[in-house]
Amino acid sequence: MPQNTSIATLAGNDSGVPSSRETAVVDPSRDGDQHVKSAEQRVREWLSGLQPNTRRAYTRDLGAFVAYLGEVSLGAALERLCGVRRARALELVEGWRDTMRAPTADMPDGLSAATINRCLAAINSTLRHLGKADVGPGRLDVALIKAESRRDTAGPAAPDIGGVLRRMESESVPASVRNTAIVALAARRGLRRAEIANLRMVDIDLGRSQIAVLRKGKRERVRITVSGSTIEALNAWLAIRPEHANPDCAAVFVTLARGTRGTPMTTGGIYDIVRAAGASIGQTWRPHGLRHTAATTVLNNGGSLVAAQEFLGHANIATTTRYNDEKRRAADLAVQIVADKI
């Protein structure tokens, strides 16, 4: 994948990147005057209204497209894309898609279908937004990449997670105390890494054993209950957090690395912490794998699909059924029984 244009390039007029030639949109103003608003300005305003995670993803994806075209700014890329015939615009986007599919030294299989399709969605959403002002070709009928059959998402064994957490809980260095709370939230409460990264100090209610989380795709936080052991892990970190967090930092979890010390942790940082926890026993862990283990633990120990749905915060119960490993194993066993008898 081509190197991404920096997010600063897309961040706004204070990014330090001079605007290049830009497709202009004329809006009526007072007394017959006209105000020219560039396509880039329109896209920036549109991005600012998206959910934070979607905004960050689309910003990166648009930056990658800018780099693919070899342009110096989003404005120049939009000028090029919107200034050609629809068929040519489609060729440009299809060329980017095929480049992302191509193997590289770092990624022998190319980017995943999900990543490529999200990039294409970013472009089409941008073009659809500009189309409302009669700019550009509108949404392009570019073929998406068909995803391979769903990979095994089963997480690590619950006893392995418990053993690692108990070892982490016995360590008193600040990084271990913080990391214990993060892994506990992922494993014992099934939180997504973005939900952990977005936790603020005002979201923690230790007395009621509750936290307020921003669920995927939601604009308002919901209060959920956490276990006593997870509250203990959180409390241990919060007791030493003031020594490590910047005074104006609202995030619960902060970095301890030199250079960024005291600033909010990113989802990438949380991913690395979970990976390191698994590596300590020679396993490969992912945050979503811990979430999967939590869900299957609920389902395999008497919990209903509705209970698992509420636990995971799924809007649609059909999503929850994907976590039912026991159901899949039973189906596989039935196939073998029939094959042996018939």
Which residue has tokens 């200034």? 83
Report residue 253 CA to chain centroid gap: 17
Please write down the HEC assignment for all residues of 163-190: HHHHHHHCCCCHHHHHHHHHHHHHHHCC
Which of residues 214 and 35 earns the better pLDDT score? 214
pLDDT band at 17 (very low <50, low <70, confident <90, very high): very low
Q: What is the pLDDT of residue 216?
A: 80
With tokens 């994907």, the residue in question is 322
Instruction: Give per-residue pLDDT as tens, 139-150.
Output: 999 998 886 544
β-strand pairing of 34-38 with 204-205: unpaired
Find the catalytic residue in 101, 128, 167, 288: 288
Q: Residue 79, exposed/middle/buried by CB under 10 A (0-12, 13-18, 19+)? A: buried
> Residue 76's pLDDT is what?
92
Q: Is 288 a catalytic residue?
A: yes
Lowest-confidence pick of 38-47, 231-240, 294-303, 318-327: 318-327
Question: Poorest-confidence range of 6-10, 23-27, 193-197?
Answer: 6-10
Which of 216, 244, 275, 322 is the catalytic position? Answer: 216
Q: Tokens 């250079």 belong to which residue? A: 259
CA 76 to centroid of chain Cα atoms:
28
Distance separating alpha carbons of residues 297 and 324, to the nearest angstrom? 9
Residue showing tokens 């979201």: 203
For 102-130, give the DSSP string: S--SS-TT-S-HHHHHHHHHHHHHHHHHH
| Cβ-Cβ contacts under 8 Å for 318 (sequence gap 6 or more) | none
pLDDT of residue 2: 44
Task: Report how far residue 5's alpha carbon sits from residue 67's, in angstroms, rounded to the nearest whole number.
Answer: 6
Q: Is 216 a catalytic residue?
A: yes
Report the DSSP pairing between strands 222-225 and 210-213.
antiparallel
Contact partners, residue 176, CB within 8 Å, separation at least 6: 168
3-state class (DSSP) for residue 336: helix
CB-side exposure of 292: number of CA atoms within 13 Å?
17
252, pLDDT greater than 90 = yes
Q: HSE on the CB side for 35, CA within 13 Å?
A: 8
Q: What is the pLDDT of residue 36?
A: 54
Q: Which of 192, 215, 241, 292 is catalytic?
A: 192
Q: Is 192 a catalytic residue?
A: yes
Q: Percent helix, strand and coil across the chain, each rounded to 5? A: 55, 5, 35
Residue 289 tokens read as 């794998």
Q: What is the pTM of this model?
A: 0.57
Q: Which of 178, 188, 189, 291 is catalytic?
A: 291
% of the chain beyond a pLDDT of 90 = 49
Asked if 139 is an active-site residue, the reply is no
Span 15-21, mean pLDDT? 37
> What span, in angstroms and rounded, lies between the C-alpha atoms of 241 and 71?
43
78 close to 105: Cβ distance less than 8 angstroms: no
Question: What pLDDT, on the 0 to 100 scale, is given for residue 28?
Answer: 41
Q: Between the CA of residue 157 and those of 289, 301, 309, 319, what are the distances in Å? A: 10, 14, 21, 21
Identify whether 271 is a catalytic site residue. no
Q: Is the alpha carbon torsion for 224, 324, 155, 104 positive or negative?
A: negative
Mean model confidence pLDDT for the chain: 82
Asked if residue 107 has pLDDT above 90, the reply is no
Tokens describing residue 197:
């990264």
Q: For the segment 258-311, what is each residue's pLDDT rounded down to a tens digit?
A: 889 999 999 999 999 999 999 999 999 999 889 888 888 887 788 777 777 777
pLDDT at 111: 86
Burial state string for 265-280 with b = 16 or more CB within 10 A and e = fewer than 16: bbbebbbebbeebbee
Within 13 Å, how many C-alpha atoms sit on residue 255's CB side?
13
- The mean pLDDT value for 77-106 works out to 91
198: Cα separation from own chain's centroid: 11
Is 218 catalytic? The answer is: no
User: Which residue in the list 323, 327, 329, 341 is annotated as catalytic?
Assistant: 323
The residue type found at 320 is T
